[in-house]
Amino acid sequence: MKAAKQEVFYMRVSQMLIPTLREVPAEAEVVSHKLLLRAGFIRKSAAGVYTYLPLAWRVLEKIQKIVREEMNREGGQEVLMPIMQPAELWRESGRWDVYGEELIRFKDRHDRNFCLGPTHEEIITDLVRGEVNSYKQMPLLLYQMQNKYRDERRPRFGLLRGREFIMKDLYSFDRDEKGLDISYKKMYRAYSNVFSRCGMQFRVVEADSGAIGGSDTHEFMVLADSGEAEIVYCENDDCSYAANVERAISAVGEDSSNEVPSRLQEVHTPDVGTIEELTSFLDISAEKTIKTIIYSADDEIIAALVRGDREVNEVKLYNELNCLHMELASAEMISRVTGGNMGFSGPVNLDICIIADHEVKNITNAVTGANRTDYHLINVNAGRDFEPDKVADIRMVQAGEACPYCSSPMTGARGIEVGQVFKLGDKYSRALEATFLDERGKEQYIVMGCYGIGISRVLSACVEQNNDEQGIIWPGAIAPYHVVIVPINVKDNDQLNMAERVYNTLSDNGIETVLDDRQERPGVKFKDADLIGYPLRITIGSKALESSELEVKKRSSGDIVMIPEENVCEKVKSMLSY
RNA sequence: CGGGAUGUAGCGCAGUUUGGCUAGCGCGCUUGCCUUGGGAGCAAGAAGUCGAGGGUUCGAAUCCCUCCAUCCCGACCA
C-alpha cells in the first residue's frame, strides 16, 4: 500500500499548551519539581498526583519507547495488567496484611475488597501459574508499563516520590537458578542500555534486598546531589565495586598498633554524653572509643557497638537480628537496662544481647561508657572485659574507607534510584503455587525475577541532573522537541515566511520542531526556550534574512553557530547526534 | 504517624497582632496604542465563596471551635 503523504501540521507555540510560569510555585522545593512546573510540563492534582501536560507526555513516551525497545531486544513481551486488583490474590501471597497503609484499598458495590496495584507480582504469577505448565514454555519474560499506586506517608519532591507513578515492571520466569541468572544478566544489560540511551549519568550499585529476601539485587542510580540514596563506589576503575550504603561493606583494617592492654579503669566524665565531647575531654581520637547504641528489637533490648567515629547501619543490624520491628530505645529504657543515663552506656557488665561490629574487637584500650551517669571506662578490651554475643558487620560505610575487594579508597555520592533488578527466586511461585513439570515429569516451582524502572521518575531525575539557572537542558534522545524556531518579529512577513520554510524543511526530515509564533518580544521567547530546554534554538531575525544564514544555538553549551539555510537539515542532525 | 508552617484572583504575596466603609499589590490575562535580538512602555479592563463549616459580634479575611488541603523536618519506604 502506498503511504499517503502525511499532512503537515504546524506545531505553533501560540496554539500549544505550554503554560510557563515566571515565578516558582511555593510548593516546589527540589529543582526538578520547580522546573517541571515552571516550564509547563506538569500540574499537580493532589499531593503526589500529577497531570502530565503535552511536553511531559512526549518525554515520557520517548522514555517508554527506549525501554520498550530494550525489553523487546532481550525477548520481553509486553502485556497490560489491571490496576484494580482483587484482595483474594493479595491474601494468597500474604501481602494483604503485610503491605500496610501504603496499599490503597477500596470496596466495590458488592462489598468485595480490592486494591490499586503498587506492583504486579500477584497478578502476573496468577496468570503464569494458569498458563505455564511445562519447562518448554520458559524462559518467559513479561513486562508492562502503567500507573502504579503507593500511598506514601509523605509524597515529596514532585514526581520523584509520588503516590501515582508510571512504572515498567518486567517479570522473568525460569525453570531454575541458572535460567534466572541468564534473565537477570539480560535485564542488567538492558537497563544499562536504557539509561545510557536516555543520556543520563548513572551507576549500578549493590543493594539491600530488604524484606523481600532473595539473593542478588542491583539498583540503578542516577547521580544527583538531591538524591535520597547514598552510595559509595571504588575509585579504582578496574574494580567497579559500588553499593548502596545500606548494603556497602568495606575492608576491616587489622590492629597495627602494638599497644599492650592496660588496666581497666573508671574515670569521672561529668556531662560528657557524646563521642565528640568525650574525645575532647579525654584528648583521644574517636577511633579509640566504642559507641554503644541501645535498640529495642521486637520484645528484646539489645546493644549495638561500633567504633566511635562510625554510625550504626540499621539495615544491616535489622538483617542481623532478623526481627520484625526495631527502633532506638527510649531514654528511660536505657537508664533502666544499663543503670546509667543515655550517653554513658557501654558493653562492660551489660547484661543484654550485645552485637559488635568487626572493628570494635580490634580496638586496644578503648573508651566506653561505664553504665553509670557521668562515668566512662578506659582501657576496655574486647575478649577480656566483655564478650559480644555476636560479631558482625553492622557499621555504615563512609566515604574514604577501603574497598573490600581491592582496598582502594571509596568515594561517596548521592543518587536517585531509577531502576532495580531483583532475583525473587520462588517466593511468589511458592505462595501462589506456580509450578511446572520438568523433563522428568517432576513438579517444580517456577523461579522468578522482577525488574522495575520508574518511568516518571526517570523524567524528573533527568531534569534533576540536566539543568542550569535558566532551566532544563534535555538530552536529545528524550527532549520533547529537538528544535524551536524563534522569529524575532512575527509581524514581519519575511521573517515569518522564512521561519515556516525552515520549519517545513526540518519537519519533513523527521526533526521534531516547534515554531514560536507568539506575538511576544524576543526576550520572552528566549527565556521560555531556555526554560523548556529544547536542545537547539534557531533564531530568525533581520540578519538571517539578509545573509540567508541561520543562527543555531545549542542549549547545553550555549554555543552559537551560523549555518547557510540550505544546509540546515544535515547541520541540525549532526548537532543533535546522540 | 510525631513536630513545624501555610491556605486571600491563574502564579507570587501584603492585609490578620489591635474586628470597621467598596479586600489590596506585583506578575500573568483581555482590548488599544507603541515597541521588537534576552522576561519593554502607556492607557483602559476582566477576574476573589479571603480553604470549608459552625460560633462570638451591630459588624469577621481578622477573634473562638471543628474539619479539610498543602508544604517542610523526622519516622517510614517490596
Task: List the CATH number of the domain containing A116.
Answer: 3.30.930.10
Please tell me whether any atom of strand B lies within 7 Å of the Cβ of A47: yes
Where is average pLDDT lowest: A83-87, A318-322, A472-476, A559-563? A318-322
* Of A564 and A299, more confident: A564
Whether A18 and A53 have beta carbons less than 8 Å apart is answered as yes
Please compute the mean of the pLDDT values over residues A320-341 and round it to a whole number. 82
- The band of A190, judged by pLDDT with boundaries at 50, 70 and 90, is very high
Q: Quick check: is A255 in a domain?
A: no
Handedness of CA A262, A263, A268, A269 (dihedral sign): positive
Pick the residue with more confidence: A325 or A302? A302
- A80 plus A226 within the same structural domain: yes
Please indicate, yes or no, if residue A229 is contained in any of the structural domains. yes
Q: Are residues A123 and A224 in the same domain?
A: yes
Domain holding A280, by residue range, is 265-392
Q: Looking at residue A253, what is its pLDDT?
A: 73
Summarize the confidence of residues A37-45 as an average pLDDT: 94
In a domain, A402, yes or no: no
Are A445 and A354 in the same domain?
A: no
As a rounded value in angstroms, the CA-to-C1' distance for A156 and B72 is 10
Residue partners of A393: CB distance under 8 A and separation at least 6: A249, A316, A357, A358
> CATH number, domain at A287?
3.90.960.10
Within 7 A of a protein CB, which nucleotides of strand B?
1-2, 11-13, 26-28, 35-40, 69-78
Percent share of chain A, pLDDT over 90 = 74
pLDDT above 80 (res A6): no
In a domain, A563, yes or no: yes
Tens digit of each residue's pLDDT (9 = 90 or more) over A197-254: 999 999 999 998 765 555 689 999 999 888 888 999 999 989 989 999 988 998 887 7
Reported ipTM: the value is 0.93
Most confidently modeled range among A27-41, A94-108, A290-304: A27-41
Q: Which of residues 416-475 of A touch strand B (CB under 7 A)?
A: 420, 422, 450, 452, 470
pLDDT at A305 over 90: yes
Question: Are A553 and A525 in the same domain?
Answer: yes
Residues A435 and A519 in one domain: no
Mean pLDDT across the stretch A305-329? 85
> From the centroid of its chain, how far is CA A153?
18
Q: Considering the domain boundaries, does residue A475 fall inside one? A: no
Per-residue pLDDT, averaged over A441-468, amounts to 95
Asked whether residue A152 falls in the same domain as residue A67, the answer is: yes
Give the pLDDT confidence of A146-178 residue by residue, as tens digits.
Answer: 999 999 888 888 899 899 999 999 999 999 999
Asked whether the predicted pLDDT for residue A3 surpasses 80, the reply is no
Distance A485 CA to B41 C1' (A): 27
pLDDT at A5: 46
A346 and A450 within one domain: no
Q: Are A467 and A39 in contact (CB under 8 A)?
A: no
Q: Are residues A236 and A282 in the same domain?
A: no
Distance, Å, A104 CA → B52 C1': 26
The reply to whether A323 has its C-beta less than 7 Å from any atom of strand B is: no
**Which chain A residues in 164-223 sit with Cβ < 7 A of strand B?**
169, 210-212
Among the candidates A364, A392, A420, a domain finishes at A392
Residue A405 domain-assigned (yes or no): no
Contact flag, residue A230 CB and nucleic strand B, below 7 A: no
Q: Closest nucleotide to A523's CA, by C1' atom?
A: B38
Q: What is the CATH number of the domain that holds A568?
A: 3.40.50.800
Residue A226 sits in the same domain as residue A92: yes
pLDDT beyond 80 at A299? no
Span of A179-188, A331-340, A498-507 with lowest mean pLDDT? A331-340
The pLDDT assigned to A325 comes to 74
Q: How far is the CA of A50 from the C1' of B66 (A)?
A: 30
Task: Based on the fold, state whether residues A374 and A340 are members of the same structural domain.
Answer: yes
Number of domains chain A contains: 3
- One domain, residues A271 and A128: no
For residue A564, being part of any structural domain is answered with yes
pLDDT for the residue numbered A152: 87
Q: What does the alpha-carbon distance between residue A532 and residue A20 come to, in Å, rounded to a whole number? A: 8
Average pLDDT for residues A532-552, to the nearest whole number?
95
DSSP, collapsed to helix, strand or coil, labels residue A565 as: helix
Domain-embedded: residue A441? yes
- Residues A250 and A404: beta-carbon distance below 8 Å: yes
Q: Higher pLDDT residue, A499 or A330? A: A499
A388 and A503 in one domain?
A: no
The model's confidence at residue A275, banded by pLDDT at 50, 70 and 90, is confident
- pLDDT tier at A1, thresholds 50, 70, 90: very low
DSSP A232-264: EEES-TTT--EEETTT---PPPP----PPP---
